[in-house]
Amino acid sequence: MKILVFGIHGQLGNALTRAVWPEGWEVSALDMPDVDFTDTASLRQVIASTKPALIVNAAAYTAVDKAESETVLNWQINALAPAAIAEEAAKVGAALVHVSTDYVYNGAKEGSWVEEDTVGPLGGYGSAKVASEMAVRALLPRHLILRTSWVYAAHGNNFVKTMLRVGRERDRLTVVDDQWGRPTEATDLGDGIIQAAHQAVSRDADWGTYNFSNSGAPTTWCGFARAIFTEAAPWYGKGPEVVAIPTSDYPTPARRPANSVMSLDKWQKTFGHTPRAWPDSLSAVLSELKKQ
């Protein structure tokens, strides 16, 4: 069975290239410059020539603040490209796993977001992702849309690696403490994608939209930062003082959801699997970073 993965240079794509896939699944992985996500004709040609049974779209424009000014590029990669992928997938008979985001929610809800909640993106990045979800649903019945949050890994650029770097440079860090969510480790997300895709393809069932993050008690970015330095302390040494600040003290071009905590109930019920607790995943990533 042929599998086509888009976006291998990102954190999730890297994890998917290192993951263990089901026996008999032949994986081809592509990213820039071999395929241009701003050129839908290029994407269509790759799919038409490869004729995969399953496509995993891990490619995305993730510069959330730049998306407010680089509107065309954001829309090309995050909305138009997924629509083209879904349409061409339908032509060749392929199923699709498309990765979305917690930014489709407006963050105003009390309690965990469920997949059936009304979306309400606060900025350009989330708006493009909502558009991509709508296109995938309209064009391709055999799809899995996974909404995820706060992705990080031992590879690539992310919050964990940024904290460790700036922690070497400063004695005091200020971090937002009123945005809530759960971190998602890229390897866990990749494994979840493979598990869900295998079940959906095998049964030709369970297609649809799912929330996916690591489990565990929700935290804030400040809480996440403090956990990073506490867990890394045995080899990193004494970290900086992490001072909690409100979002209003750290203005950004793009608004962030105040509440990104997503319910995992649908995921757990459908796939019989509870993702690792985020502190355990963080520990594993920090162990890998220590070796680097």
Residues in the chain: 292
Report d(CA 52, CA 89) in Å as an integer: 8
Cis? peptide before 33, omega within 30° of 0: yes
Identify the CA nearest to 289 among candidates 167, 183, 186, 154. Answer: 154
Report d(CA 12, CA 149) in Å as an integer: 12
| Catalytic positions, written as ranges | 125
Report d(CA 15, CA 166) in Å as an integer: 25
Is residue 232 within 8 Å of 286, Cβ to Cβ? Answer: yes
